Structure 1
Amino acid sequence: MWKIGVVTSSNSVYCRERENDCFPKLEALLKHNFDAEVAHHRLSPDNIEMLKENMIELIDREKVDLLITIGGTGLSPEDVTPEATELVIDRHVPGLAEEMRRCAMQHSRKVLLTRAIVGTRGNALIINLPGSLPGMEWCFLAIADQISSALAIIQGTNENVNT
């Protein structure tokens, strides 16, 4: 099974002013969908350099296969997770990000305001999820069925790609 890392990006969660309600829900979704657990979880303020360092540490040093970020994908000036992710990834996986928004729009058109991206770094998959509880869940469930295939392809364990 995969080694999973999560970075929660939120000034208010980092400063303990607000509960991190998305992380326990993501843990439950990972357990239910993949029978997998989070090996590493980091809290970060909305700061590009700290986010970048957390992502690089989890992928390059801790060797996570799947890195999921929660929060920092909106239009607020402090929302910088996509910018930090851009500094870390080797390649974009736009189809997954597009599908997250497409499916989540069935619940709320506000998802059009998320700037979440998906990409790879080496053999790891990086997924940005919104920091709102329903948005995070909608986006995750929109692509959950493709995560195993994406990781198998990235890691070279699946040569047959069905389109």
Structure 2
Amino acid sequence: MSGGGARPVVRVGIVTVSDRASQGVYEDKGGPAIRDWLARALVGPWETVARVIPDEQARIEATLIELADAEGCSLVVTTGGTGPALRDVTPEATEAVCTKMLPGFGELMRMASLKFVPTAILSRQTAGIRGSCLIVNLPGKPSAIDDCLQAVFPAIPYCVDLIEGAYIETDAAFCKAFRPAHAARK
């Protein structure tokens, strides 16, 4: 950042996709798990824009578009809707609103999860880019959220740099972000 001014606030969208949580039948544990993980990982000014919505593809798409385009989020992290059940449509919604998909995110998250549970192969997590926003789909279980974020978050700040989103800083003691030496910002 030049001119010595304050760094802009990083806006992070957190979307819980769950019929039961959106109806108040089930406590949303995924969204708070993401927020708590980010509170340990991020330094510098940041804020979340949270949504809890049902497993409806049109609603998921509209929410992702709103967070990326209208709310100015540089990162949107979803939880839920990534399994094989009929109503699990988060990856389809993500693919519908993104201009580029990043399948390596899903591949790495499944590899990380397979260390703990053989059913990780049923998960369809993915990630994609919409404008200057990175959208990452995570599973719904808080422990799986932690496993997946630990695996992929080191690449997220540099990815957001490449798509000209906000500059994301991490606490290296918790999650060391990777940026090539030539990409370091002053």
Q: Could you state the TM-score of these two structures normalised by the residue count of structure 1?
A: 0.92
Percent of residue pairs bearing the same amino acid type: 32
Task: Please give the alpha-carbon distance, in whole angstroms, between the structure 2 residues aligned to 1:98 and 1:110.
Answer: 14
1:97 aligns with 2:106: yes
1:14 and 2:14 matched: no
2:170 maps to none
1:85-131: per-residue Cα shift (whole Å, max 9, x none)? 11111101111221111111111121111111111011110000011
In terms of mean alpha carbon deviation, does 135-144 or 33-42 score higher? 33-42
Which aligned pairs between 1:14-53 and structure 2 lie closer than 5 A? 14-35=22-43, 37-53=46-62
- How far did residue 38 of structure 1 move? 4.1
Q: How far apart, in 1, do the equivalents of 2:35 and 2:126 lie?
A: 20
Residue 113 (structure 1) aligns with: 122
Encode CA deviations 1:9-41: one digit per residue, 9 max, x unaligned: 000100111111122211111011113654211
Q: Secondary structure at the match of 1:20?
A: coil
Q: Residue 31 of structure 1 contacts residue 37 of structure 1 at CA under 8 Å; is this kept in 2?
A: no
- Considering fraction of residues, name the structure with more helix: 1
137-146 or 73-82, larger mean C-alpha shift = 137-146
Aligned pair count reads 161
Could you say what secondary structure the match of 2:28 adopts?
Answer: coil
Give me the whole-angstrom Cα distance separating, in 2, the residues matched to 1:128 and 1:30.
Answer: 15
Q: Indicate the SS of the match to 2:81.
A: coil
Q: Is the 8 A contact 1:104 1:142 kept in 2?
A: no
Structure number, greater radius of gyration: 2
Q: 1:141 is paired with a residue of what secondary structure?
A: helix
SS state at 1:3 partner: strand
Structure-2-length-normalised TM-score: 0.81
Q: 2:66 aligns with which of 51, 57, 67?
A: 57
- Structure 2: gaps of 5 or more residues: 1-8, 168-178
Match of 2:160 in 1: 151
Give the 5 Å matches for 1:127-146.
127-146=136-155
SS at match of 2:136: strand
2:96 to 76, 79, 87: 87
Contact 1:70 1:129 in 2 (8 A): yes
Q: CA-atom RMSD, angstroms?
A: 1.8
